[in-house]
Structure 1
């Protein structure tokens, strides 16, 4: 649900940014704000706390981010605070970045592996996938030991499962179906 709501806020902000020719600038400002909130756990707790008034939250956000963020981003933050949706700022950033990358002709790809990839491995994978898809890619790497080995690729709404856990689940399903038949 929060993803759908975040998409609406991101789309509205993106349209304003596009009109003003500031897609990259606003993306950078959003990233700075999200990073600032991520790095300061106490600040995040204050902003999420239901007993802190909206006015106090908005004043705090203004003081902390007025040098890093323009009017549009500050207005978005105030709107999120007014609507008690402070927690979705990361989702708004993600949706906004996706829209900006789409406009730039860059495809967002999420790669999940059982162990962390180093920068060279990410770069090599991005080049090979980019060549195969004939697109520039923005790679987002995640680690999930539960996949055991192999790789999970999410490209847009499609998921390609080349993980050991995925193959084991497939075998298990085949065995179940085999028993029934």
Structure 2
């Protein structure tokens, strides 16, 4: 794990530039795409982090992959990290930028576990309800979890909303067992 001190100054510098230029959303979206590409392609990550590959070759590769899809300043952010031999900190630095941008825009991440994918209308209704409940803009991250049986589990920061059928069944079982004990019912 890379210490925060190694990447936080890069995150903060990129955040300051994005905020100054009014491009928090644009840079955030583009940096997420870079991060996702690196996480989804371990070979790309290994290539960028390989100590024997020259920085110019790494920058040329990133230029070919991302040039038409990201702002020049986003590429420059990556180039600076490569020039300073901080390639392994690129993904954490991007995550740090995203955290700073979310905080500045009053955005809260909601991790939503569902049995199956929601429809667009269901997603919109859920996000609207969560935004009303929290008073913040919600960025949902959806995860499929068949073990829930039905319903959903939502985590926003340290708050957990468990509306799963699995939890409801567990609660019902607990109440029934408590009722049996208090009524003196036995299995004879």
TM-score w.r.t. the length of structure 2 is: 0.66
Separation in 1 of the partners of 2:75 and 2:147? 39
Residue among 87, 90, 94 paired with 1:84: 87
Task: Note if contact 1:47-1:57 (Cα within 8 Å) is conserved in structure 2.
Answer: yes
The structure with the larger Rg is 2
CA distance in 1: counterparts of 2:43 and 2:148, whole angstroms:
33
Aligned counterparts of 2:94 and 2:145: Cα–Cα separation in 1: 23
Give, in angstroms, the shift of residue 49 of structure 1: 4.9
| Secondary structure at 2:61 match in 1 | helix
4-13 or 51-60, which deviates more: 4-13
**CA distance in 2 between partners of 1:2 and 1:125 (Å):** 35
What is the CA–CA distance in structure 1 between the aligned matches of 2:28 and 2:136, rounded to whole Å? 21
CA distance in 2, matches of 1:94, 1:149: 32
Structure 1 equivalent of residue 73 of structure 2? 72
Name the structure 1 match of 2:160: 160
- Cα RMSD (Å) of the superposition? 3.6
Alpha-carbon distance between aligned partners in 2 of 1:7 and 1:166, rounded to the nearest angstrom: 42
Partner of 1:17: 18
In structure 1, C-alpha distance between the alignment counterparts of 2:52 and 2:150, rounded to whole Å: 45
> Partners of 2:96 and 2:152 in 1: how far apart?
24
Deviation digits for residues 47-75 of structure 1 (CA, Å, limit 9, x no counterpart): 35565444321221133323433343223
Distance of 2:168 and 2:76 partners within structure 1: 44
* 2:182 corresponds to: none
Deviations 1:119-177 (CA, angstroms, capped at 9, x unpaired): 22211111112222233322121123344544332213x14051436985xx7xxxxxx
Distance apart, 1:110 and its partner CA: 1.7
Aligned residues: 168
Which residues of structure 2 form unaligned runs of 5+?
A: 175-188
**Shift in Å, 1:93:** 4.0
Q: Is the 8 A contact 2:112 2:154 kept in 1?
A: yes
Q: How far apart in 1 are the matches of 2:45 and 2:129?
A: 39
Where in structure 2 are the equivalents of 1:22-61 lying within 5 Å? 22-34=23-35, 36-37=37-38, 43-44=44-45, 46-49=47-50, 52-61=53-62
- In structure 2, the residue matched to 1:178 is none
